[in-house]
């Protein structure tokens, strides 16, 4: 009887945790999603394996250095800044992890928000 209750409680906790983890900001352009061979849920599982005690804050599907990647930002209780985990959208393998301080993250956000300069040719 105790095992049954413990099993049910563990299942409910895992289900709630899985549900909570699907509620994060997603920036996945449809044009890039069509190119990806790995879906976002599979990539998220690979990223979570690298930061098991973290919570996904956001994901972005982007082309970086010619590679299509899912870039996950994790927050970890008790630590400042974020853990960034990049997952190859073709293979599903984690290709990079990086610890970013809050200051680095703010600078990156400001850089991404800045208007892109374009050169006009006559």
Name beta bridge partners: 84.
73, 98
Per-residue pLDDT at 106: 75
Q: Residue written as tokens 């209780």? A: 77
pLDDT tens digit string along 85-98? 999 999 999 999 99
Neighbours of 81 (CB within 10 A): 15
Per-residue pLDDT at 117: 61
Q: How do strand 54-64 and strand 25-27 relate by DSSP bridges?
A: parallel
pLDDT > 90 in the chain, percent: 60
Name beta bridge partners: 25.
58
Give every CB contact of residue 15 below 8 A, 6+ residues apart in sequence. none
pLDDT tens digit string along 18-58? 544 568 999 999 999 999 999 999 999 999 999 999 999 99
Per-residue pLDDT at 120: 57
- Nearest residue to 71 via CA among 62, 79, 112: 62
Question: Which tokens go with 53?
Answer: 């005690």
pLDDT > 70 in the chain, percent: 75
What average pLDDT is seen over the chain?
84
**pTM for the whole structure:** 0.71
Identify the band that residue 101 occupies on the pLDDT scale cut at 50, 70 and 90.
confident
32 class by beta-carbon count within 10 Å (0-12 exposed, 13-18 middle, 19+ buried): middle
């Amino acid at each position: 009887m105790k095992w049954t209750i413990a099993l049910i409680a563990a299942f409910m906790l895992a289900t709630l945790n899985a549900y909570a983890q699907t509620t994060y900001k997603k920036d996945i352009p449809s044009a890039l999603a069509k190119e990806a061979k790995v879906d976002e849920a599979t990539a998220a599982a690979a990223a979570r394996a690298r930061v098991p005690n973290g919570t996904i804050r956001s994901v972005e599907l982007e082309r970086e250095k010619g590679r299509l990647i899912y870039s996950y930002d994790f927050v970890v209780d008790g630590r400042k800044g974020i853990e960034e985990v990049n997952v190859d959208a073709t293979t599903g393998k984690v290709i990079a992890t990086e610890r970013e301080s809050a200051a680095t993250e703010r600078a990156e956000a400001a850089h991404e928000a800045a208007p892109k300069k374009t050169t006009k040719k006559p």
